[in-house]
Chain A
């Protein structure tokens, strides 16, 4: 009994040492400006910005239309969008890989194993989330809002923009959820990007690789950066929400 307990303590002490060592290495890598670490960070920020930008540009108008207008097949379309919100990243990776590979329909563009290629995959991942949550925000918008805006003299464009502005908090929640999904996915980045050092290696693929290599320091450093980015995004959004 005593032997089993001492074995348990020893095992966890080793694990804790690994993690603490990882944290120490993390700060060293970040503070010393380790080029490999910052390359992965930069790739992640770049590719996630592309994908979330495209998703918002296309997803918000589509989500608004889905939530605002009544048309035949709306319920079915809504079910499809809701299903796509749970798309597995490896499946998207496979799909985009098939599209971008040199034998695929978009093979001529040479996007496989590139950051724009990953961005395409991540856009497919984020867009259903933006569309679905925007549609939900618009559907839950008070019907009196439309009457109010129209009765105050809005034209169609003003009605659209004002309605959109009024459900901004719901849309923002959708954007945060989508951004979180994009930032933390591994499947698409790994399959479409190929995890090429200095080129398509993102934070998540780097963590997976470094952990496999036993390099916990690098993994923890990159994990901390992911957390810091998420924190900054949420603080900014929280500030904007209070301000507007």
Chain B
């Protein structure tokens, strides 16, 4: 049974629908990633899954039962780390142990709080008595995460957990979150702009755009605005003056999803497959779950992600910095 099931969900603020999801399930002990530009509805979806708010329409089932804010599920099984770190006006120990006290989990409170602080790389001797205002941004976020980990939640929802922290803090936060899943079987739901990280760790990645699920898995999505390049041709002029040509979009702000990108060192080899652009390999990523290797290719300033079949990795000896050609078929572009 899925831990979450969303049915015909619609959520509005001041009469404007900001999220509409027909059906979505999340499996227990899985990691679900959410990717999308600002305003795509990620935080709203997380607040609804965190049972902080009730949807305007539709249902959210938790373990097969209708779940609502302040229900036992919301209070004892689910916890959420909001986008910007926030601590109450208390010292670090009081912040970390606060949830334990709220949930009536008062036994061994000191041990639990110290352990949670250790998990996020903070020494309780140095930090436990520090007031909330004497912490850096990264430390604040880690204390906030420790307060959630101390609860040993069934579901841990993280909204941009590494957006405003340094690389070292980001690493500690990522490690602590994954350990919760490994040790406690916690279901993780993470929204992040660090899509490379999400692709590496998630069982499923959802792309949100304007409050709707645009697709699942690794996708190359190019957001508007689009401009007329002349003679009924639309596209974008990239920073190196190459033209990314597309069929007429439904509106100038639409998002284009390009699924079938091909790469080659030789532009003539892929010329028959569509429009060819020249770029540079900027990054290689391994999707641990499938063993699939992905290359991020910068065309001008536009990053395009291409799945590399195993033989291609060897044949072309692809590495970051290597010039390469990418081709796509405009007629295969899907618009959202």
Listed in ascending order, the chain A residues whose CB lies under 8 Å from chain B are 142, 144-156, 158, 162, 166
Q: Across the interface, do A153 and B102 meet the contact criterion of CB distance under 8 Å? A: yes
Across the A-B interface, the 9 shortest Cβ-Cβ residue pairs: A152-B99, A144-B86, A151-B80, A153-B103, A153-B75, A153-B102, A147-B82, A151-B79, A154-B102
**What residues of A have a CB within 8 angstroms of the CB of B79 in the complex?**
151-153
Known: A147-B82, A153-B74, A158-B102. 9 other contacts (CB 8 A): A147-B52, A149-B102, A150-B52, A152-B79, A152-B98, A152-B148, A153-B76, A154-B75, A156-B70
- Known contacts A147-B47, A158-B102: does B151 contact A152 (CB below 8 Å)? yes
Contacting pair B82 A144 (CB below 8 A): yes
Q: With contacts defined as CB atoms under 8 Å apart, how many contacts are there between chain A and chain B in the complex?
A: 58
Q: Are B89 and A166 in contact (CB under 8 A)?
A: yes
B84 touching A144 by the CB < 8 A rule? Answer: yes
Q: B34: CB under 8 A from chain A?
A: no
A152 contacts B47, C-beta separation under 8 Å: no
Asked whether any CB of chain A lies closer than 8 Å to the CB of B167, the reply is no
Asked if B86 contacts A148 (CB within 8 A), the reply is: yes
**A148 and B69 contact, Cβ closer than 8 Å, known pairs A153-B75, A153-B102:** no
B50 within 8 A of A: yes
How far is the CB of A104 from the nearest CB of chain B, in Å? 46
Of the residues A142, A146, A147, A152, contact of B147 by C-beta under 8 Å:
A152
Question: Which residues does chain B contribute within 8 Å of A153, judged by CB atoms?
Answer: 74-76, 79, 99, 102-103, 151
Query: How far, in whole Å, are A158 and B78 apart by their CA atoms in the complex?
Result: 17
Query: How far in angstroms is the closest Cβ of chain B from A125?
Result: 30
Distance, CA A145 to CA B75, complexed state (A):
16
Q: Which residues does chain B contribute within 8 Å of A146, judged by CB atoms?
A: 52
A interface, over-half SS = helix
B88 at the interface (CB under 8 A from A): yes
CB of A148 within 8 A of CB of B82, answer yes
- One digit per residue, 1 when the CB lies within 8 angstroms of any chain A CB and 0 when it does not, for chain B 86-127 equals 111100000000110011000000000000000000000000
Select the residue from A145, A149, A150, A154 with max chain B CB neighbours within 10 A.
A150
CB distance from B79 to the nearest CB of A (A): 5
Q: Which residue of chain B has its CB nearest to the CB of A150?
A: B52
Q: With A and B bound together, what is the CA distance between A162 and B70 in angstroms?
A: 15
Kindly list chain B residues whose C-beta atoms are within 8 Å of the C-beta of A148. 82, 86-88, 144
What are 8 pairs between A and B in contact, CB < 8 Å? A142-B86, A144-B84, A146-B52, A147-B86, A150-B52, A150-B74, A152-B147, A153-B99
- Are B82 and A166 neighbours in the complex by a CB distance under 8 Å? no
Alpha-carbon separation in the docked complex, A150 to B74 (Å) = 8
A7 vs B87: C-alpha distance when bound (angstroms): 65
With beta carbons under 8 angstroms apart, the residue of B50, B70, B87, B88 that contacts A155 is: B70
Complex Cα gap A146–B87 (Å): 11
Chain B, 37-58, contact with A by CB distance < 8 Å: what is the 0/1 string?
Answer: 0000000000100101000000
Contact with A along B61-74 (1 / 0, CB 8 A): 00000000110001
Most buried by B among A144, A153, A154: A153
Which of A145, A151, A155, A156 touches B52 (beta carbons < 8 Å)? A151
Residues of A within 8 A of B50 (CB): 147, 151
How near does chain B come to A152, taking the closest CB pair, in angstroms?
3
Report the Cα distance A154→B52, complex, angstroms: 11
Closest CB of chain B to A144's CB: distance in Å? 4
Q: Which chain A residue has the least Cβ–Cβ distance from B76?
A: A153
When the two chains form their complex, are residues A150 and B69 in contact, meaning their CB atoms are under 8 A apart? Answer: yes
A89 to chain B, nearest CB (A): 35
- The residues of A that contact B148 with a CB separation of less than 8 Å are 151-152
Residues of B within 8 A of A155 (CB): 70, 75
Q: Which residues of B contact A162 (CB under 8 A)?
A: 88
Are the CB atoms of A151 and B82 closer together than 8 Å? Answer: yes
Closest-CB distance, A75 to chain B (whole angstroms):
15
> CA of A7 to CA of B166 in the docked complex: distance in angstroms?
74
A145/B88 contact (C-beta < 8 A), A152-B99, A152-B102 known: yes
* Cα–Cα distance between A153 and B101 once the two chains are bound (Å): 9
Q: How far, in angstroms, from A80 to B220 measured CA to CA in the complex?
A: 55
A52 to B50 alpha-carbon distance, docked (Å): 41
Could you say which residues of chain B place their CB within 8 Å of the CB of A144?
Answer: 82, 84, 86
Q: Give chain A nearest CB distance to B55 CB in angstroms.
A: 16
Measured between C-beta atoms, what is the minimum distance from A172 to chain B in Å? 13
**A154, B102: Cα distance in complex, Å:** 6
In the complex, A150 Cα to B86 Cα: how many Å?
Answer: 13
Question: In the assembled complex, which residues on chain A have CB atoms less than 8 Å from the CB atom of B147?
Answer: 152
**Residues of chain A within 8 A of B87, CB atoms compared:** 148
Most-contacted residue by chain B among A146, A151, A155, A156 (CB, 10 A): A151
CB neighbours of A142 from chain B (8 A): 86
C-alpha gap A123/B76 in the complex (Å): 42
Question: Measured between alpha carbons, how far is A147 from B81 in the docked complex, in Å?
Answer: 9
Give the chain B neighbours of A149 by CB distance below 8 A: 88, 102
